[in-house]
Amino acid sequence: MAAGGMIFLGLCLVLSALIIMSVRIYQVRPDFVFKVLRYSLLVIFWLIFGAISVAIGFRISDRHQSTYSRNSKAVIDIWGGNIYQSPPSLTYNDYEIQEVENKKTGELQKRRVLVNPNIGFHAQTLQIKIDKNVRQKGLLKFPGYDLLFSGEYKLKNTLKRTENLNFYFELPQNAGNITDIVVILDGKEYTEDTNLANGISWSKEMQAGEEATFLIKYKAQGTGYFSYTLGNVQKEIKNLLINIQTDFEDYIIPERAMVPTRQASDGKISKIEWSSKNLITGQSVALKFQLSDDYGSIAAKLYFYAPLSLFLFLFLILLVTVAREIKLHPMHYLFIIVSFFIFYLLGSYMISYIGVIQGIIASLAVSTGILLYYIYLIGKSAELLQTVAGSAIIFQWIFSVAFFFPEHTGFTITISTILSFIALMKITAKTNWENKF
């Protein structure tokens, strides 16, 4: 309680000292006080409109996420979602002795339990083709694809006895329409399983060392992600070869996915290969697909950087007007800021009607046009018009366009800022800054 009172007393003393000092400065240099108030108004204008821009950015981000999530569900329901293809299993029936506790007596009792050990495969060779088939819902685009799956599985009875082995291949549940299913066993079409909707099943009594080969093909539809879930099978894979060919330009290897053995691309088609021998892994083979022209997710970032853009824009204009003794009232600056801000306000709605790129360009054109028209109406000088036009091009147009090239955004903004700084140095190099502020 006492500490709070001391802090309050200290703040009162500091505030009183500032008031007394301000009154004294006003008595000696009233022009200085007016300048401080003028620049304080500019700071307040900047804070207000910068905060509004960031708030709009959060609104756009939230709207994009909710709309994307809602439309994504609709696309998945119609077309197909993330495809997770599990490797087949090769099992046999066996019994093992387990100890269980008798709940009545508390004694441990032994019982014979049926188990299905998985002996794995001698070799798995997969040829997978993923062709981009962009799905669109409203103005949003989703990375849909057509999948052509071909998997060859070499079976071998590695037990030292004749055993009845059970092969089971489960088709992906989250895919869209699965068509053109082909099952070939040892070079001949396999027709014993009449209901492939429940997966592909096969059983045979195989002698020790006997081999068989399954070739399974199908077509399916998916969106966004493909995974061959090796990580779910804790079993050694003797020979593994997976080749994926895709025309997606933007794809990533997701977390906890196996790193490819090699990758190659000719600019149109990418080929990714995984090759291993005697492999034991907790990872899956997976690819996540993105669209290079889906700008909705990055549009909000443009608004988050609006305070920086507006600050640099005002700073450049302020220095030039001070250096050239061009008198502008704070109300002039307010209208200039509002004209600049029109881009962010109008753009937040335009991107919902005509698309992100078109909406941003249209909003930039309207905002810059209003801004230059107002500077023309002020009628101060041609140099002011040139300065405002140059500032708008750099801190409005270039800054905005930079966000649509995410890998070069920071570099583009840095270079454009340096160039504007060099231009400012040239304009103000011979200015006598004494008594300018």
Query: What pLDDT does 293 receive?
Result: 61
Full-model pTM: 0.68
Q: Which of 249, 274, 290 is the last residue of a domain?
A: 290
Considering the domain boundaries, does residue 437 fall inside one? no
Judgement on whether residues 286 and 302 belong to the same structural domain of the protein: no
Strand-pairing partners, residue 200, are 169
Q: Which of 235, 255, 290 is the last residue of a domain?
A: 290
Task: Work out the percent of the chain whose per-residue pLDDT is above 90.
Answer: 22
Considering the domain boundaries, does residue 372 fall inside one? yes
Judgement on whether residues 131 and 270 belong to the same structural domain of the protein: yes
> How many domains does the chain fold into?
2
Considering the domain boundaries, does residue 434 fall inside one? no
**CA separation for the pair 56, 89 (Å, rounded):** 53
Q: Residues 128, 245: contact at Cβ < 8 Å?
A: yes
Q: Residues 75, 223: contact at Cβ < 8 Å?
A: yes
Judgement on whether residues 221 and 113 belong to the same structural domain of the protein: yes
Judgement on whether residues 51 and 139 belong to the same structural domain of the protein: no
Task: Please state the three-class secondary structure of the chain as a single string.
Answer: CHHHHHHHHHHHHHHHHHHHHHHHHHHHCHHHHHHHHHHHHHHHHHHHHHHHHHHHHHHHHHHHHHHHHHHHHHHHHHCCCCEEECCCEEEECEEEEEEEECCCCCCEEEEEEEECCECCCCEEEEEEEEEECCEEECCEEECEEEEEEEEEEEEECCCCCCEEEEEEECCCCCCCCCEEEEEEECCEECCCCCCHHHCEEEEEEECCCCEEEEEEEEEEEEECEEEECHHHCCCCEEEEEEEEEECCCEEECCCCECCCCEEEECCCCEEEEEEEEEECCCCEEEEEEECCCCCHHHHHHHHHCHHHHHHHHHHHHHHHHHHCCCCCCHHHHHHHHHHHHHHHHHHHHHHHHHCHHHHHHHHHHHHHHHHHHHHHHHCCCHHHHHHHHHHHHHHHHHHHHHCCCHHHHHHHHHHHHHHHHHHHHHHHCCCCCCCCC
Judgement on whether residues 193 and 307 belong to the same structural domain of the protein: no
Considering the domain boundaries, does residue 47 fall inside one? yes
**CA separation for the pair 377, 357 (Å, rounded):** 30
Judgement on whether residues 395 and 413 belong to the same structural domain of the protein: yes
Both structure tokens of 314: 């005002």
Judgement on whether residues 207 and 334 belong to the same structural domain of the protein: no
Judgement on whether residues 173 and 208 belong to the same structural domain of the protein: yes
Closest CA to 193 of 167, 155, 228: 167
- Rg of the chain's alpha carbons, rounded to an integer? 34
Longest dimension (CA), the chain: 108
Q: Per residue in 329-350, pLDDT tens?
A: 888 889 999 999 998 888 888 8
Considering the domain boundaries, does residue 76 fall inside one? no
Query: What pLDDT does 32 receive?
Result: 55
Judgement on whether residues 283 and 223 belong to the same structural domain of the protein: yes
Considering the domain boundaries, does residue 331 fall inside one? yes
Q: Per residue in 4-25, pLDDT tens?
A: 556 656 666 665 565 565 555 5
Judgement on whether residues 278 and 319 belong to the same structural domain of the protein: no
Considering the domain boundaries, does residue 182 fall inside one? yes
Q: What is the CATH number of the domain that holds 241?
A: 2.60.40
User: Helix 382-392 to helix 356-378 angle, to the nearest 10 degrees?
Assistant: 160
Query: What pLDDT does 138 receive?
Result: 66
Length of the chain: 437
Q: Which of 240, 258, 290 is the last residue of a domain?
A: 290
Which residues form the domain of 400? 35-68+296-428
Considering the domain boundaries, does residue 17 fall inside one? no
Judgement on whether residues 39 and 86 belong to the same structural domain of the protein: no
Show the low-confidence residues of the chain (pLDDT under 70).
1-36, 106, 138-139, 231-235, 292-297, 434-437
Query: What pLDDT does 366 receive?
Result: 94
Judgement on whether residues 164 and 246 belong to the same structural domain of the protein: yes
